[in-house]
Amino acid sequence: MIIDFHSHIMPAFDDGAKDAKMSIAMLQKSMDQGVETVVSTSHCYPMSGRDITEFTDKRQTAYNVLMEAVKADNAEIPKLVPAAEVHLSCDIASLKGIEQLCIGDTRYMLVEMPSSLWTDEVIDRVYKLSISGIKPIIAHMERNIVQKDELLSALYMLDILVQVNAESFAMPVYKKFIGKMMKNKLIHIVGTDMHNLTTRPPDMEKAHKAIIKRFGSDCWEYLMQNAETVLTEGELSYRRLRSFSPKGIFMGNLFAK
């Protein structure tokens, strides 16, 4: 089963699909690439329990609009799983109702780290979330390579999973980083982070080809199995994580830039 774990397909909700017509087109393009399930992770910037309630209400409204359009067009789309891309804008573990932002009925949550330089407080927020009963999945981890090595190391020591965007597997700028992360069992989930049909389109096929070419088909199957395990509330424990080495590349220090 091919699962896209990161998407912005709810119509007119965040900076993703501008309307239901675009949502359907994005989802159908995903289906053309073999995607069977799409996790809908609209941006959420919670600072209070009220923010969470407003988000979930608006998400449901957007979902209803999409489903009405799907029915009117007699369109076929992948299975959708409600979730959010939750920005670590505060101590989110302390917010009332934070569990409503988890992925489907699971205790996993897609978390977007700050783009500014991290401090110890940022890592502490992730730690508090991880011990609250919610397991963070760090969104598009490759964007965080500018952060201090000691803070990256501290993050990797926590009970987290890591998601990388599909297009990044084919981008030279991330080649070294992804190679080291794969060897050290630190990439677990793939998502397209699709927002539209042009500049940030569904491109799971690109990741599929790049991963198989560089790491082998076993790696692709492993990443898809991880996604399925998360969605079925299976325990993706450290003992089940696997290492994959790029072909013909010497692996050095994990945290070297």
pLDDT band at 226 (very low <50, low <70, confident <90, very high): very high
pLDDT in tens, 19-37: 999 999 999 999 999 999 9
Least confident of 65-74, 91-100, 243-252: 243-252
Q: What is the mean pLDDT of residues 240-246?
A: 90
Q: Residue 178 maps to which CATH number?
A: 3.20.20.140
Q: Average per-residue pLDDT in the chain? A: 94
- Residue 166 has a pLDDT of 97
Q: How many folded domains does the chain comprise?
A: 1
- Residue 6 has a pLDDT of 98
Check whether 145 has a pLDDT greater than 60: yes
Can you give the residue range of the structural domain that contains 149? 2-240
Q: Is residue 257 part of a domain?
A: no
Q: Are 153 and 184 in contact (CB under 8 A)?
A: no
Q: What is the mean pLDDT of residues 234-241?
A: 79
- Residue 246 has a pLDDT of 81
